[in-house]
Amino acid sequence: MSVAVMAQKNQTYLTLNNGVQIPQFGLGVYSIPAGEVTYNSVLTALKAGYRHIDTAHAYRNERSVGQAIKDSGIPRDSIWVTSKLWPNEYGEEVTPKQLDKKGYALTESLRIFINHPKIRHKVTHKSSELTNFATN
């Protein structure tokens, strides 16, 4: 039995309130540079049996995640992708547009969108340094 098959069989799941099961363990791609590094990390994790990938638009590596999922050959309905919306992306008018904008980069694998809590730091667009800003 391959390592990937063993890992998938040993994967533990959590049951959500609606009865849907989500893999308990996954790969988080925060701070992993977009491109080859993220792509290879996600592809390696999927080959090892991981079926849950956690990303966010602010990480700026969603396209690499999506490409690795596509290239893995694993059925998309067996992979959980979690991503996040920032507080400035909340609202009846804004949220649907943001979901459409982000969804294309992640293929049809996106399963959960999380409303990211307000935090006292944000990731700048030019670097991964944290910059302070005031929240309400």
Residues identified as active-site: 59
Contact 22, 111 (CB under 8 A): yes
If one counts every other C-beta atom within 10 angstroms of the C-beta of residue 53, the result is: 29
For residue 91, give the nearest of 57, 117, 115 by alpha carbon: 115
Q: Residue 59 burial by CB count (10 A; 0-12/13-18/19+): exposed, middle or buried?
A: buried
Distances (CA, A) of 84 to 29, 59, 74, 81: 12, 10, 23, 10
